[in-house]
Amino acid sequence: MVAPDNVRVHAVVDEGLGNSSYLLDLGDGSALVVDPPRDLRAVHARARAEGLRIRFAADTHLHADFLSGAVQLAHDERATVLASAAGARRFPHRGLHDGDEVDLGGLRLTALATPGHTDEHVSFLISDGASPAGVFTGGSLIVGSAARPDLLGPARTDELARAQFASLRRLAALPAATAVWPTHGAGSFCSAPPGAHRTSTIGRELATNPLLRLNEEQDFVEALLGSLGSYPAYFRRLGAINRQGPAVLDTERAGTLTALSASAVRRRRAEGATLVDVRPVTQYAAAHIPGSLSNALRAQFATWLGWVVPPGRDIVVVRNPDQDPADIAWPALNIGVERIVGELAGGLDAWIAAGYDTAVIRVLRSEQLDPGALRVLDVRQTSEYLAGHLPSAGHVELGSLTGRAAGLVPVPTAFMCGHGERAATAASLLECAGRQDLAVVVGGPQDWADAGGRDLVTGPDGGTVTDER
């Protein structure tokens, strides 16, 4: 963590969303938390470990990738919420304009208007006396890049990209030793380069951030927009919820799942609920409820849950006994998925004991894969595919497969991603569309190349799926 010796900042990283929240120790047993998520378990754990009570909760912008925990902290901890006045939030908060200052008791917070990622975005400059110590940059200046400016729609994208250019220049004018504490980091679909450090300094960014080397606004806009990939559809909904203020949760009950009998689950499925199987890929493939969606429980579970399950759809979970219900329910709530109506009591064993049918999907190890024997469909993000894929492998991003599954020509197909989890989700989507003769590849393209001493293809090679009816 980059921080001056006299300023104690503790990062709380969400590896699944690629984001960081920060606890700033105010020196009197209290803390300011910046960009807290609705899932506050890790934030509270870190605060307890440091002996801190949360007195302020600050949001740099109206988040699109998660629901803010600021309203919950105001309710539970009586924390004062700090946010941009331009955000027009509809819950009690202290609205800050450009240049407004907040006395934190020894430290001073100054709001800096830094639009670009969103139009009401602010950064929070922390000063100790006259000296800037660090700046919470949210989705403005991030390590090695800047966050995406296209979340408010194509009509605003160019305008916001140009605003991002000006905001980065404003931040770059801070003293070189000023710590940079961004919210978005590696793995965030709000756009951050992979493998980057999560914190930095102004001086380091001036020396290494390619966007800060571009002095012409148009060059900056083209570079920033050219780096953007796809993002989940739920990003278009969460900003409005964050402006309204997410509902306060009963934290004791929020992390639990209601037990449903096998017959109740069968009835829910018939009524249109989506069954989400969170067990490991190989267990799902060996036996699962027909028509269930595979989404293995892992750091990225919530992102893909929100991406591929239609909004407003009731969800029933199938899990193993050693998978914690809280690790399913809380990440879902974090991204606004509110309709997990329960779980299959007793897991798949209870379904089988009730005499109900199960389905299987073939599993292939990457070294077993013969691209000439069946269609290989790579469902990774476009940037991953272009970085290296199997010769002749077709490509369609998993996030767009939900709208294209019924149109794919029904031929034997093996789905591939980086490890197998997204491939299993893709195969389950095709199975829900009535397709058979499907396989899931466990392992990624590099595993296939290493096993046979073969080369991967980089760049586009016509592998985008075009064989739709």
Which amino acid does the sequence have at 151? L
Other Cβ atoms closer than 10 A to 306: 23
pLDDT for 417 equals 97
The angle formed by the CA atoms of residues 112, 117 and 122, to the nearest 5 degrees, is 20
- Decide if 23 contacts 50 (C-beta within 8 A): yes
Query: DSSP strand E in 148-269: where?
Result: 179-182, 200-201, 259-260
Interatomic CA distance for residues 156 and 285, integer angstroms:
44
pLDDT of residue 367: 86
Pairing outcome for strands 293-294 and 274-277: parallel
Over the stretch 379-421, which tens digit does the pLDDT of each residue have?
999 999 999 999 989 999 999 998 777 778 788 899 999 999 9
**Residue 104 structure tokens:** 């934190």
Q: What is the pLDDT of residue 369?
A: 87
pLDDT (mean) for 17-27: 96
- Condensed to tens digits (0 to 9), the pLDDT of residues 173-202 reads 999 999 999 999 888 888 667 666 899 999
> What's the mean pLDDT in 301-327?
96
The per-residue pLDDT for 272 is 95
Instruction: Kindly report, residue by residue over 412-461, the tens digit of the pLDDT.
Output: 899 999 999 999 999 999 999 889 899 999 999 999 999 989 999 998 76
For residue 93 the two structure tokens come to 């908060």
Per-chain mean pLDDT for the chain: 94
pLDDT of residue 20: 96
**Three-state secondary structure call for residue 195:** coil
Q: How high is the pLDDT of residue 467?
A: 44
Q: Which ranges of 335-379 does DSSP label H, i.e. alpha helix?
A: 347-353
Decide: residue 203, CB within 10 A, 0-12 exposed, 13-18 middle, 19+ buried.
middle
In this predicted structure, what is the pLDDT of residue 2? 65
HEC readout, 216-242: CHHHHHHHHHHCCCCCCCCHHHHHHHH
DSSP, res 464: B
Residue type at 389? H
pLDDT at 463: 52
Q: Beta strands 30-34 and 19-25: pairing type?
A: antiparallel
Per-residue pLDDT, 148: 95
**What does the alpha-carbon distance between residue 28 and residue 105 come to, in Å, rounded to a whole number?**
8
What's the rounded Cα separation, in Å, for the pair 129 and 104? 12
Write the DSSP symbol of residue 210.
Answer: G
pLDDT tens-digit readout, 100-145? 999 999 999 999 999 999 999 999 999 998 889 999 999 999 999 9
Which amino acid, one-letter code, is at 1?
M
The amino acid occupying position 404 is R
pLDDT grade for 4, boundaries at 50, 70 and 90: low
Q: Strands 340-344, 259-260: parallel, antiparallel or unpaired by DSSP?
A: parallel
| Statement: residue 468 has pLDDT above 50 | no
Res 192: pLDDT: 63
List pLDDT tens digits, range 230-253.
Answer: 999 999 999 999 999 999 999 989
Phi first, then psi: what are they for 170, rounded to 5°? -65, -45
Query: Which has more pLDDT, 402 or 464?
Result: 402
Rounded CA gap, 186 and 194, in Å?
5
Look up residue 66 and give its two tokens.
């998660």
Please give the average per-residue pLDDT across 272-282, as a whole number.
97
Please report the DSSP string for 368-412 in residue order.
G--TTTSEEEE-S-HHHHHH-B-TT-EE--HHHHTTTGGGB--S-
pLDDT more than 90, % of the chain: 86
> With pLDDT > 70 as the criterion, what percentage of the chain qualifies?
96
Whole-number pLDDT of residue 461: 63
- Unique residue bearing structure tokens 């509270």: 44
Q: How many residues does the structure list for the chain?
A: 469
Q: What's the pLDDT score for residue 186?
A: 81
Q: Would you state the pLDDT for residue 187?
A: 81
Asked whether the beta carbons of 152 and 118 are under 8 A apart, the reply is yes
